[in-house]
Structures are given as structure tokens and as C-alpha cells.
Amino acid sequence: MASLPNIRRHARRTSPSALVAPDRDRPDVQRLEAHGLTWLNIEEPTEAETAWLAEHHDFHPLDLEDVLSRRRQRSKIDEYDDYVFLVLHFPRFDKRTGRLQATELNVFIGPGLLITIPKEPLKPISALWSRCEQRDDARFDYMSKGSGFLLYEIVDQMFDYCFPILDKIGFKLDTLEDAIFEGQSNVLVRDISNVKQEIINYRKIIKPQRPTLRMLERAVQRYAPEDLEIYFDDIVDKNERIWDSLENYKEVADALEATNESVITHRLNDMLALLTIISAVILPLTLITGFYGMNIDGLPFARNGMASFIVLVVVMVALAGGVLWYFRRRKWL
């Protein structure tokens, strides 16, 4: 067997002068061995890593093709005689686009072997790797019970990472609910749309892998020395809790959108009512001034100068007051 590639060490720091651009022609594989278990971690795999996997392990070419594919694969479990291939998806907030995106995690699991292949760096996996790399007790806790138990710990921590993202969506909905009645309805249309898009993206990530998680325990049971049913049931329970929360958030977002539209419509109706009242008050006054603007000698008070002006102003004010009194009596004001 060929020698293993160089292993990256995240915990080490080098000075800027020592930084060298990585050689992407060489496979970049992290390797950790403890208690008869080998854990390999390959982030953002390229052709070099897939070629290394094909050389050192008897994996099916279609599985390696899925690992290298830039298109998102569906969540699935492929079982073989000597290993299992998993594809799972988890939410990740992309700061570049400002949107919630799905990140793919490919896993090969066999007797005494676990290979995790995230398409993008995942903080929970990196944190767990660092703990196992630096501490003997962590290696014992996570790697002494077989590859199936280590897989459970990785998936469990990935789902724990999902809940803070879910809480942020809930916080956004609470903030939007408070802001609707604070005169920001028109501005909130875009914010509500963005939150609904996040919920939709989250649902698209979680829903397809619900049946996959239910089959996960049975698929990896042979790679654990003890019954893992209760552990993987906990993962299924977390997935269902996330799904139920997303269902509730979807209903809340729809209700907020409907409420916001109602508030906007109500304010628009108030504005139209005010403009209608102003028009109704000004209309008879405009009629009077229009008559006296025609320069016809026969109109009353047309030649009385200041006296006629005062009389007309009094009549117009009385007429406007009468219209307003009538509107208030009819409870239109």
C-alpha cells in the first residue's frame, strides 16, 4: 500500500512567511487512529482525493463519482458487503450570498474505518476532530466504541449545530412581529420574504433525508459493538423537532405576511378616506369660488367689495363646517 499523504493540523499556526500555497495535485487527507478505529477526514474533495480513495479502498466507482460531483446528491444510504456509503445534508448560512444553503456530507463507514467527506468545511466536524486529536479522553469517548458510534456522534453534533440556525429564524420572526405595528410595514415586505425563503430552503434540506435517518441505525449497526437504536432514535427525534419547528415557522411567516398586508391595506384605506374627506370639503368651496371667478355682473354681492368678500368667506367656512359635522354625525370621522 502506498504511503499516506501529508496530514493537515488545524491547531497549528504558522507565520505569514511560512505559508505556502497547497499543492492540489497531492491528496489532502486528515488521518486519526485510536482504539482500533481509523478516522479520515477530507474537506472539499478534488480529483486527487478521489483518486487516492480509489487506490487505497475498494469503493464503488459510482460512490466516488458522487463524492466528486459538484451537483448536490440526494440523501441516501448505499449498503455493500464491506462498507456503507451515506449522503446527508445540513444547513449552512452563506455569508457571501446572505442566504441559507445546503452543505453535503458524504460518509464511508466500514469495520474499523470512518471517512467523512464534507463538500465544505463544517464547524462541528472540525471541532470534534480537534478534540480527538488533542485529548486522549476524547479519543476514548468517541473512538473506542466502533465506527458506528463515532458516526452517531458526528451526525448528532451536526444536528445540534442546526438548532442555533433555527433559533435565529425564530428570533427574526419575533422581531418582524413587533415591527409590523410600529409603522414599518412597507419596509418589512422584503424582510418577511427573506425569512420565508430561509424557511423554504431549510425545509428543502431537512425533508428529503427524514426516511434516510430512519434507516441509518439499521445500516450501521454491524459497525458498533452495542445496540445503537436508542442513539439513532435520538437523531430521528431531533430531525422531527426541527421539521415541526419549521412547520410552525412557516405558518407564523404566512400569518405575518397576511397581517402585514392587512396593515398596509388598512393604512392605505385611512389615507384614501382622509383624501376623500378633504375633497368633499373643498368641492363646494371650489364651486362657489368658480362661480365668482366668471366675472358676471348679476351674481349676488359681486359689486360690494370687501363686504361681499367677508360674506363669502363666512359662507364657505360655515359650509365646510357643516360638511365636517355631517361626516362626524355619520361616524365617517
pLDDT tens digit string along 169-191? 999 998 888 887 776 667 788 88
Angle at 254 between CA 251 and CA 260, to 5 degrees: 140
Q: Where are the domains of the chain?
A: 16-264, 292-329
Using pLDDT thresholds of 50, 70 and 90, give the confidence band for residue 5.
Answer: very low
Contact 115, 194 (CB under 8 A): no
Among residues 179, 199, 184, 203, which one has the least CA distance to residue 254?
A: 199
pTM of the predicted model over 0.75: no
Q: Considering just the CA atoms, what is the radius of gyration of the chain in Å?
A: 35
Cα distance between residue 117 and residue 173, in whole Å = 34
Quote the pLDDT of residue 231.
83
Q: Is the pLDDT of residue 9 over 60?
A: no
One-letter amino acid of 61: P
> Could you tell me the three cell numbers for 299?
351674481
Quote the pLDDT of residue 279.
80
Cα distance between residue 216 and residue 84, in whole Å = 10
Cα distance between residue 312 and residue 285, in whole Å = 10
pLDDT in tens, 118-175: 998 889 999 999 999 999 999 999 998 888 899 999 999 999 989 998 999 999 998 8
> Could you tell me the three cell numbers for 310?
367677508
Quote the pLDDT of residue 16.
37
CATH topology of domain 16-264: Beta Polymerase; domain 2 (3.30.460)
Using pLDDT thresholds of 50, 70 and 90, give the confidence band for residue 18.
Answer: very low
Torsions phi, psi of 15, nearest 5?
A: -70, 155
Using pLDDT thresholds of 50, 70 and 90, give the confidence band for residue 25.
Answer: low
Contact 36, 47 (CB under 8 A): no
SS (H, E, C) the chain: CCCCCCCCCCCCCCCHHHCCCCCCCCCCCEEEEECCEEEEECCCCCHHHHHHHHHHCCCCHHHHHHHHCCCCCCCEEEECCCCEEEEEEEEEEECCCCEEEEEEEEEEEECCEEEEEECCCCHHHHHHHHHHHHCHHHHHHHHCCCHHHHHHHHHHHHHHHHHHHHHHHHHHHHHHHHHHCCCCHHHHHHHHHHHHHHHHHHHHHHHHHHHHHHHHHHHHHHHCCCCCHHHHHHHHHHHHHHHHHHHHHHHHHHHHHHHHHHHHHHHHHHHHHHHHHHHHHHHHHHHHHHHCCCCCCCCCCCCCCHHHHHHHHHHHHHHHHHHHHHHHHCCCC
How far apart, in Å, are the Cα atoms of 111 and each of 37, 83, 207, 311, 323?
Answer: 8, 7, 30, 105, 90
Contact 180, 267 (CB under 8 A): no
pLDDT (mean) for 25-44: 88
pLDDT in tens, 220-255: 877 777 777 788 888 889 999 999 999 999 999 999
Give the distance, in angstroms, between the CA of residue 69 and the centroid of all CA atoms in the same chain: 24
Cα distance between residue 206 and residue 237, in whole Å = 13
* Burial (Cβ within 10 Å: 0-12, 13-18, ≥19) of residue 208: middle
